[in-house]
Structure 1
């Protein structure tokens, strides 16, 4: 029969065996999805004589379907891991509580065997109180594990919308792929570099997603150690039941779906856009932040003009607001001479000297673009170079002084009139800058 002190220690909530079974079911379904991914690709060989455009389109469709199955399978496996962690917390908590109950039962035995039970109960009350307090702490920790598991499950399962073009046909831009062990190892190095302020901010290369405004804003922030640490603070590693990093929890300071709400919705990122932003040609911190940005939008990597808005298209001022939690200043030019007046030029130069992040966009001017490009005389590595600017594109401002503005293309390079590639960073005179860049966004440090 349970004694008085033993009865004061409550049970740990949860059933470890049921949770372990549930985790196994999720893991089984994840493996099933991996099998379906293999089946999807195997079906391509069922019609070996089929060739032509339709066959090529079918192959691309199978590739997209394969990636969806792999990503869903990865979600299930990660969810299984989250449930297993919770099951482990419940099982350990139950064992801990049983040990406390055993100690409490010994106190009850002393009371039962004492000549004067009431005096013995009073004598042992202090020791019993310690046991009850320890039990309460452990039970609360298990409840916290349950909350963490629930939050992880809510964040983990993510179905990325299919990216479509203007004709509503699917494209390859929005496909996602699971982070590999090598990807995670490199991201960890990037996070260390961001925290140390030694990250190579110019290593960015935009992919097939129209989020130049967001990428250019990230690069602008990463120009200073302070900005790099701010970016690093948005990314927290997430660990599986074995203590290995299996993805990242990313929280942007502002929520684009609810701009007046704070803090933002935290998302779990364990996939990257296969054709998204890279760092030095490989997956890195930029890739993780871009994936989180997409998950914060109902349309994923699609255009912001879609019924379900995505990250394709936007304004740098909005990006700065999301990443810093502070409003940005926007200066505008219509492309005519003197559109950025003396005060505005001084303001841009002053912001550069104070290391404020800035992004310039080739919009809202009368400049002529042929097939979306405009040729301009720039200075690259100290040499006069004719490069092509993209219309409707965002560029990171590197610096500005009385002689002009130095910018960096998030593509990682610039096209030249001769068809060759020029380095991403270049300098324009003020006259050319105000002719082509009708929008200058100045963020806060």
Structure 2
């Protein structure tokens, strides 16, 4: 019969065996998805004599489907890991509680053997209270493990929308699981960001039209303070073995009102195969880009699509994602003198204060109505002519009385001769005002 003190120890909520069984089911489904991925690719060999453009398109479609199965399988495996961690917390909690109950039962035995049970019980109350308190702490820890598991499950399963251009699916939105080497590199990037030693240059935009977001991210990474802000948005996520299996990234639910909107945390364990890279490799930039895509129901599709995608936007809307504060937006008429003296001074002062800045232009207004234009610039300290295209955003590296220095998130520019040019170049104020009608200044 349970004694008085023993009855004060509550049960741990949850069924560890049922949770383990559910985790096994998720793991099994993940393995099944991996098998389906293999089946999809093996079907390409069923008609070896089939050649031509239709065969090539079919192969591309199979590769796209294979990636979807692999990503879904990875989601299932990660969900299984989350459930396994929770099951372990329940099982360990139950064992701990049983030990406390055993200690409480020993106190009950002392009461039963005492000449005056009431006096013995009163004497043992402090010891019993300590056991009850320890049980309460452990039970609350298990409840927290349940909340964590639920949050993980809500974040983990993500199906990326297909990117459609002119009614045709493209490869821009395809995702691939992070490899062990890529995770190791991201960990190194995070360490450098936290230390303020990250090399912000070397970004290369992929096939996604999120230049406004990438330019803003690179603008943040120009200063140690901005780098630490980027690092604070990314937290490693660990599997049941204590290994990093992805990242939790916090973004404002409404970037236009970052202070008033609740933070939205997304789980990232994949990168865009044709997305942004850093120095030719996957890194912290890639993780933030993947998280930004998850923040849009339309994925990598155009911002004009229904549902809305991440392609197309202004840096004035992206900088608040990183700073947590609305950006200052300046607009030029697109002609010489388009920014007044006060606005020029704002840009110069922001540069001197090392505030993050980015700029953009419109592809439909002059001078980009007929395509890219050639403009005089300074590249590596030498005069040169480079081509500028419309509808593109750039990181502002610096600004002074002589002009504005910009960096292309594509990682390069093009000389008027057609050769590749460095990503960074300087324009006179006259040309900057003519070609870049929108300047966004971040507020750290």
Smaller-chain TM-score bracket = over 0.9
In structure 2, what is the Cα distance between the partners aligned to 1:365 and 1:86? 54
Aligned-pair CA distance for 1:33: 0.1
Aligned-pair CA distance for 1:260: 6.9
For residue 21 of structure 1, what is the aligned residue in structure 2?
21
For residue 99 of structure 1, what is the aligned residue in structure 2?
99
Aligned-pair CA distance for 1:255: 3.1
- Deviations, residues 15-52 of structure 1 (Å, cap 9, x unaligned): 11111111111000000000000000000111111111
Alignment of 1:137-148 (within 5 A): 137-148=137-148
For the structure 1 residues 256 and 356, does the alpha-carbon distance in structure 2 shift closer, same or farther, using more than 3 Å as the test?
closer
For the structure 1 residues 289 and 37, does the alpha-carbon distance in structure 2 shift closer, same or farther, using more than 3 Å as the test?
same
For residue 317 of structure 2, what is the aligned residue in structure 1?
318
- Deviations, residues 154-207 of structure 1 (Å, cap 9, x unaligned): 000000001100x22110000000011001000000001101111111121100
For the structure 1 residues 131 and 257, does the alpha-carbon distance in structure 2 shift closer, same or farther, using more than 3 Å as the test?
farther
Q: Check the 8 A contact 2:172/2:208 in 1, yes or no.
A: yes
Range with greater deviation from structure 2 (100-109 or 345-354): 345-354
Give the secondary structure class of the aligned counterpart of 2:376: strand
Alignment of 1:31-430 (within 5 A): 31-165=31-165, 167-256=166-255, 261-363=260-362, 366-369=365-368, 372-430=371-429
Runs of 5+ unmatched residues, structure 1: none
Q: Check the 8 A contact 2:248/2:268 in 1, yes or no.
A: yes
Range with greater deviation from structure 2 (60-69 or 114-123): 114-123
In structure 1, what is the Cα distance between the partners aligned to 2:44 and 2:367? 46
In structure 1, what is the Cα distance between the partners aligned to 2:356 and 2:333? 22
In structure 2, what is the Cα distance between the partners aligned to 1:389 and 1:232? 32
In structure 2, what is the Cα distance between the partners aligned to 1:298 and 1:259? 19
Range with greater deviation from structure 2 (358-367 or 187-196): 358-367
For the structure 1 residues 365 and 357, does the alpha-carbon distance in structure 2 shift closer, same or farther, using more than 3 Å as the test?
farther
Give the secondary structure class of the aligned counterpart of 2:168: coil
In structure 2, what is the Cα distance between the partners aligned to 1:282 and 1:82? 28
Q: Check the 8 A contact 1:334/1:364 in 2, yes or no.
A: no
In structure 1, what is the Cα distance between the partners aligned to 2:180 and 2:325? 35
For the structure 1 residues 193 and 259, does the alpha-carbon distance in structure 2 shift closer, same or farther, using more than 3 Å as the test?
closer
In structure 2, what is the Cα distance between the partners aligned to 1:134 and 1:237? 30
Size of the alignment, in residue pairs? 444
Q: Check the 8 A contact 1:12/1:97 in 2, yes or no.
A: yes
For the structure 1 residues 258 and 351, does the alpha-carbon distance in structure 2 shift closer, same or farther, using more than 3 Å as the test?
closer
- Deviations, residues 200-240 of structure 1 (Å, cap 9, x unaligned): 11121100000000000000111110000000000000000
Q: Check the 8 A contact 1:257/1:296 in 2, yes or no.
A: no
- Deviations, residues 363-386 of structure 1 (Å, cap 9, x unaligned): 288532376311111111111121
For the structure 1 residues 35 and 305, does the alpha-carbon distance in structure 2 shift closer, same or farther, using more than 3 Å as the test?
same
Aligned-pair CA distance for 1:258: 7.8
In structure 2, what is the Cα distance between the partners aligned to 1:371 and 1:70? 43
Range with greater deviation from structure 2 (85-94 or 45-54): 45-54
Q: Check the 8 A contact 1:328/1:442 in 2, yes or no.
A: yes
Please report the RMSD computed on the Cα atoms of aligned residues, expressed in angstroms: 1.4
In structure 1, what is the Cα distance between the partners aligned to 2:257 and 2:153? 22
Q: Check the 8 A contact 2:237/2:245 in 1, yes or no.
A: yes
In structure 1, what is the Cα distance between the partners aligned to 2:202 and 2:353? 23
In structure 1, what is the Cα distance between the partners aligned to 2:306 and 2:211? 21
Range with greater deviation from structure 2 (322-331 or 408-417): 322-331
Q: Check the 8 A contact 1:364/1:439 in 2, yes or no.
A: no
In structure 2, what is the Cα distance between the partners aligned to 1:31 and 1:38? 11
TM normalised by structure 1 equals 0.98
Q: Check the 8 A contact 1:301/1:312 in 2, yes or no.
A: yes
For the structure 1 residues 259 and 306, does the alpha-carbon distance in structure 2 shift closer, same or farther, using more than 3 Å as the test?
farther
- Deviations, residues 337-387 of structure 1 (Å, cap 9, x unaligned): 211121111111111101111111122885323763111111111111211
